[in-house]
């Protein structure tokens, strides 16, 4: 939008006076942040209103992306960038003696997600709006987001994330759009003539769902979509005359906390309640809005697409059926057709421990009517498909069996599209994990490789690199990332390559400063910055990284590291609070770090840094300064990964396995510009089928590994008596579930090759440039366009 510095400064002054009775002279940064946010909200609200009117007028089809997690991070700079005001506001603030970056730090990260899945949802929100696609989010407004992590004595300690205390200036509470969601009680069917039945209910618990809307502002266009987050409240009025304390507490806890488990199924009643809560509220709002436009219900799939982000919102399927059948007297057959047409589903993992399977008992008592509908869906599925494909395939794919409701099965059977999040992952779904479904519904399966919102991950996170790209190839890449390919023309231009190297060096200096402030460790910006940032999981193999660090440490101690290129290993990772093993790894990383960083033999050849409380805004500081991104999951376990794409876009080289999107990154950049090691998925599957892996054989025959692993239990690494034993046993007694020892040698060799390559500044810088130049296909703009065309059938404005 058009705005002068003067106009903006005037608006900010007004806002400060109106909201805080302050001036630009005596306001503190928090007050400036709040006032500034309100001014910005004022700017985009006109566009928001206008786009809502446009959407209603045209009734064009819209997508509703249901996700139990979102991770937008900070909104201030993102909104400024997308409105085209970043520079104007930065300059205007500087004029009044303020600094936008400092002001921005007063915004609490909106961290209502765990990791990749939640961040993907937010990248999609940005990309939907920025490509002009009508697509909205639907989720939960958790009072407490993902816990804050402190490291105390090397241990992870969790603190509550109280992000709403100062208020959230971006959200709009819409009490007029509140709906009721009902739980428990008894349900029975009564005949209403002509063989039709209708459900009757008693003793249900009613909870009020109130939506809080947040504008998702598109990049320099007219689109503003909505992120709708639901809060549980006590319904006012007649139904509940004397609410019991228990009931009031129930209501309060429902939307209080995000479950802190990533890629892990918890099975708790409250979680099921959360799932139904935001699903029911979201669908009610959608149907109400649709009917208010005067459109006929049987045509709803022409106007509405509902996306189920992993199985957490899978109850969309029976709930949509309930609304159509019970509330709008539609026949089962018609309702089912509409449901399958409206729904689509993304699977984000093949790991068994993440698969949601709710106990029938729990489902029946918490959601009696929904349970009935699920059983009916299941019976009809069996009846229809046993004659077509035989009893054994149907048994394998049934929704209700062994006393459990299988949510992935429900999602596939009740939707028209099931996609994985990278080629290898989608292939594994078709060929292995969901093979039986693939035989029954081959046309439903497809791939949508993940992507990232380049606006946040380069334009905001790396302004200096963005500026250099502008200078080199012009600014058009900011609108269309494909234009980055123009950079290829400069791959042998040393003058340009040196400029890119200089920017990376500045980024590293900035991170070095942060590391000194936060951890008190001095790191050398000339060292290789080697970064692994992601949730802590055994399958992601942070331990493999740590074992290699120990190898380098012993090399130094043995005097075998004369010519070693100095390295700084940087970690950021949260462990689920109840995930013992992951917490043991965090402790081990921190103790190894202390040991190495305080050893005077090491000098600045090797440093290890664990940055606490990894989150979106910390990622924005870390990723630009990486030389190397670690993507070292066991092949076949990481569905896609998305930090791999962020590193690439910021000119870091990947060291990784043939897993997830690493494979497509390799295809995009070519073998010379990525460091691949370890087993591939077929090697892994082969071990699974022949069952012949013996980690102790490797332990006993590899003296380097033996020495490293022994250091975990013989006191060489101090202060990890219990954790060291747990890790040692996992590698030996428990047979190394994720083949860390099996891939160790290959990893070490590849790290060595990487180090040698780094010495060749021209070759290295060229590879970095080629990573940036080929990053466009990992833009989430590309991803959402594919969803829009191939799954949702929605069009850009
Ligand atoms: I399931 N993922 C996640 O962050 N949380 C989950 O509960 C589940 C999956 C992740 C995958 O692990 C990543 O490989 C993937 O890139 C990401 O989802 C987005 O698709």
Q: pLDDT per residue over 194-227, tens digit each?
A: 888 889 999 999 999 999 999 999 999 999 999 9
Mean pLDDT of 712-740: 98
Contact yes or no for 538/576 (Cβ under 8 A): no
Mean pLDDT of 670-678: 98
Please check whether residue 154 lies inside any domain of the structure: yes
Alpha carbon dihedral 81, 87, 89, 91, in 10-degree steps, equals 160
Distance of alpha carbon 578 from alpha carbon 441, whole angstroms: 38
Q: Poorest-confidence range of 586-590, 673-677, 689-693?
A: 689-693
Flag whether pLDDT at 239 surpasses 70.
no
Tens of pLDDT, residue by residue over 465-513, are 999 999 999 999 999 999 999 999 999 999 999 999 999 999 999 999 9
Measure 660 CA to ligand 1 centroid, in angstroms: 11
Please check whether residue 623 lies inside any domain of the structure: yes
Helix axes 703-711, 740-759, angle to 10 degrees: 100
- Answer whether 310 contacts ligand 1 (Cβ < 6 A): yes
Question: What is the 8-class DSSP label of residue 482?
Answer: G
Question: What is the 8-class DSSP label of residue 527?
Answer: S
* Domain span at 547: 485-758
Flag whether pLDDT at 793 surpasses 90.
yes
Mean pLDDT of 621-634: 99
164 phi and psi angles, rounded to 5 deg: -100, 0
Compute the mean pLDDT over every residue in the chain, rounded to the nearest whole number.
97
Q: Give the end of a domain, one of 326, 344, 362.
A: 344
Please check whether residue 425 lies inside any domain of the structure: no
Following DSSP, what letter does each residue of 697-708 receive, concatenated? HHHHH-HHHHHH
Query: Which residue of the set 398, 534, 605, 681 is catalytic?
Result: 534
Check residue 127 and give its pLDDT. Answer: 98
Indicate the helix (H) or strand (E) that contains 437.
helix 435-440
Query: Which residue of the set 425, 535, 583, 766 is catalytic?
Result: 535
Following DSSP, what letter does each residue of 778-792 receive, concatenated? GBHHHHHHHHIIIII
- Answer whether 625 contacts ligand 1 (Cβ < 6 A): no
ipTM score above 0.85 = yes
Measure 149 CA to ligand 1 centroid, in angstroms: 20
Measured from the Cα of 639, ligand 1's closest atom is: 14
Mean pLDDT of 671-683: 98
Number of domains the chain is built from: 2
Measure 118 CA to ligand 1 centroid, in angstroms: 8
Please check whether residue 651 lies inside any domain of the structure: yes
What pTM was estimated for this model as a whole? 0.98
Flag whether pLDDT at 240 surpasses 70.
no
Tens of pLDDT, residue by residue over 178-200, are 999 999 999 999 988 888 888 99
Following DSSP, what letter does each residue of 294-318 receive, concatenated? T--GGGGGGTEEEEEESSTTTTHHH
**Predicted confidence band at 243 (pLDDT cuts at 50, 70, 90)?**
confident
Tens of pLDDT, residue by residue over 638-660, are 999 999 999 999 999 999 999 99
**Residue position matching structure tokens 């891939």:** 743
Contact yes or no for 632/534 (Cβ under 8 A): no
Extract the tokens encoding 339. 């449901």
Please check whether residue 45 lies inside any domain of the structure: no
3-state secondary structure of 338: helix
Distance (Å) of CA 264 to CA 139, 411, 730 = 19, 18, 19
CATH number of the domain bearing residue 741: 3.40.50.2000
Q: Give the end of a domain, one of 298, 327, 344.
A: 344
Q: Poorest-confidence range of 41-55, 129-143, 233-247, 522-536?
A: 233-247
Biggest CA–CA distance in the chain, Å, is 90
Distance of alpha carbon 619 from alpha carbon 625, whole angstroms: 10
**Predicted confidence band at 241 (pLDDT cuts at 50, 70, 90)?**
low
CA-closest residue to ligand 1 atom 1: 263
651: left (phi over 0), alpha (psi -120 to 50) or beta: left
- Residue from 65, 68, 113, 116 to probe ligand 1 pocket by mutation (most atoms less than 8 Å from CB): 116
Measure 114 CA to ligand 1 centroid, in angstroms: 9
Q: Give the end of a domain, one of 292, 315, 344.
A: 344
Known catalytic residue at 646: yes
Please check whether residue 781 lies inside any domain of the structure: no
Known catalytic residue at 540: yes
Mean pLDDT of 147-161: 98
Alpha helices in 672-720 (DSSP H): 681-690, 695-701, 703-711
Please check whether residue 562 lies inside any domain of the structure: yes
Flag whether pLDDT at 359 surpasses 80.
yes
Query: Which residue of the set 41, 119, 348, 541 is catalytic?
Result: 348
Mean pLDDT of 106-129: 98
Measure 293 CA to ligand 1 centroid, in angstroms: 36
Known catalytic residue at 522: no
**Percent over 90 (pLDDT), the chain:** 97
Check residue 236 and give its pLDDT. Answer: 80
Distance of alpha carbon 139 from alpha carbon 99, whole angstroms: 33
Extract the tokens encoding 360. 């029938």
24-60 burial, b if ≥16 CB within 10 A, otherwise e? Answer: beebeeebbbbbbbbbbbebbeebbeebeeebeeeee
Distance of alpha carbon 309 from alpha carbon 138, whole angstroms: 10
Please check whether residue 164 lies inside any domain of the structure: yes
**Percent over 70 (pLDDT), the chain:** 99
Distance of alpha carbon 6 from alpha carbon 436, whole angstroms: 64
- Answer whether 639 contacts ligand 1 (Cβ < 6 A): yes
Alpha helices in 106-185 (DSSP H): 116-130
């Amino acid at each position: 939008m058009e705005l002068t510095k003067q106009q903006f400064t005037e608006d900010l002054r007004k806002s400060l006076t109106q909201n805080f009775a302050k001036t630009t002279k005596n306001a503190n940064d928090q007050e400036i942040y709040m006032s500034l946010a309100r001014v910005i909200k004022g700017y985009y609200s006109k566009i928001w209103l206008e786009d809502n009117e446009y959407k209603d007028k045209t009734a064009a089809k819209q997508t509703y992306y249901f996700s139990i997690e979102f991770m937008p991070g900070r909104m201030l700079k993102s909104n400024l960038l997308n409105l085209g005001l970043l520079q104007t506001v930065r300059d205007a603030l500087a004029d009044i003696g303020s600094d936008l970056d400092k002001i921005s730090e007063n915004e609490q990260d909106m961290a209502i997600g765990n990791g990749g899945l939640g961040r993907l949802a937010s990248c999609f929100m940005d990309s939907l709006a920025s490509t002009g696609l009508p697509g909205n989010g639907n989720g939960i407004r958790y009072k407490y987001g993902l816990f804050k992590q402190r490291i105390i004595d090397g241990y992870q300690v969790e603190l509550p994330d109280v992000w709403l205390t100062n208020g959230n200036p971006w959200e709009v509470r819409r009490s007029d759009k509140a709906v009721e969601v009902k739980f428990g009680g008894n349900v029975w069917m009564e005949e209403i003539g002509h063989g039709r039945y209708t459900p009757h209910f008693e003793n249900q618990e009613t909870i009020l769902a109130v939506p809080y809307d947040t504008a998702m502002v598109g990049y320099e266009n007219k689109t503003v979509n909505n992120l709708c987050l639901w809060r549980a409240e006590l319904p006012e009025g007649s139904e509940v005359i004397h609410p019991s304390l228990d009931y009031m507490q129930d209501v309060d806890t429902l939307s209080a906390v995000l479950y802190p488990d990533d890629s892990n199924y918890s099975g708790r009643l409250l979680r099921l309640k959360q799932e139904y809560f935001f699903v029911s509220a979201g669908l009610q709002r959608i149907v109400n809005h649709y009917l208010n436009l005067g459109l006929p219900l049987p045509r709803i799939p022409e106007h509405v697409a509902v996306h189920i982000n992993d199985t957490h919102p899978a109850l969309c399927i029976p709930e949509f059926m309930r609304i159509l059948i019970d509330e709008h007297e539609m026949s089962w057959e018609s309702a089912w057709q509409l449901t399958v047409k409206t729904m689509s589903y993304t699977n984000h993992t093949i790991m068994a421990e993440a698969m949601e399977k709710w106990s029938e008992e729990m489902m029946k008592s918490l959601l009696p009517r929904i349970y009935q509908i699920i059983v009916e869906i299941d019976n009809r599925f069996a009846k229809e498909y046993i004659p077509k494909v035989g009893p054994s395939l149907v048994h394998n794919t049934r929704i209700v069996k062994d006393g459990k409701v299988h949510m992935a099965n429900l999602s596939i059977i009740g939707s028209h599209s099931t996609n994985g999040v990278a080629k290898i992952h989608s292939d594994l779904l078709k060929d292995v994990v969901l093979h039986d479904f693939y035989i029954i519904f081959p046309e439903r399966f497809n791939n949508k490789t993940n992507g990232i919102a380049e606006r946040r991950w380069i334009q905001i996170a790396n302004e200096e690199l963005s500026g250099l790209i502008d200078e080199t190839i012009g600014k058009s890449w900011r609108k269309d990332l494909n234009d980055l390919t123009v950079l290829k023309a400069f791959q042998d231009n040393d003058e340009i390559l040196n400029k890119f190297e200089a920017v990376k060096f500045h980024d590293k200096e900035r991170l070095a400063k942060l590391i000194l402030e936060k951890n008190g460790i001095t790191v050398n910006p000339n060292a290789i910055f080697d970064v692994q940032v992601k949730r802590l999981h055994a399958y992601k193999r942070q331990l493999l990284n740590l074992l290699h660090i120990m190898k380098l440490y012993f090399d130094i101690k043995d005097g075998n590291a004369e010519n070693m290129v100095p390295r700084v290993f940087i970690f950021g990772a949260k462990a689920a609070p109840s995930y013992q093993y992951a917490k043991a790894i965090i402790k081990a990383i921190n103790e190894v770090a202390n040991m190495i960083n305080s050893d005077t033999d090491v000098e600045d050849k090797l440093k290890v840094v664990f940055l606490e409380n990894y989150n979106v805004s910390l990622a924005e500081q870390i990723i630009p300064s990486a030389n190397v991104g670690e993507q070292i999951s066991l092949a076949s376990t990481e569905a896609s990964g998305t930090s791999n794409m962020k590193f690439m876009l910021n000119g870091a080289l990947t060291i990784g396995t043939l897993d997830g999107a690493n494979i497509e990154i390799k295809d995009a950049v070519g073998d010379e510009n990525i460091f691949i090691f370890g087993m591939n998925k077929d090697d892994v599957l082969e071990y699974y089928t022949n069952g012949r892996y013996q980690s102790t054989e490797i332990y006993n025959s590899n003296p380097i590994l033996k020495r490293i692993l022994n250091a975990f239990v013989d006191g060489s690494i101090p202060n990890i008596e219990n954790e060291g034993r747990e890790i040692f046993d996992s590698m030996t007694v428990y047979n190394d579930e994720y083949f860390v020892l099996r891939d160790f040698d290959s990893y070490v060799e590849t790290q060595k090759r990487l180090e040698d390559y780094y010495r060749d500044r021209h070759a290295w810088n060229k590879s970095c440039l080629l990573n940036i130049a080929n990053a466009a296909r990992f833009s989430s703009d590309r991803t959402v366009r594919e969803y829009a065309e191939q799954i949702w059938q929605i069009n850009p404005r």
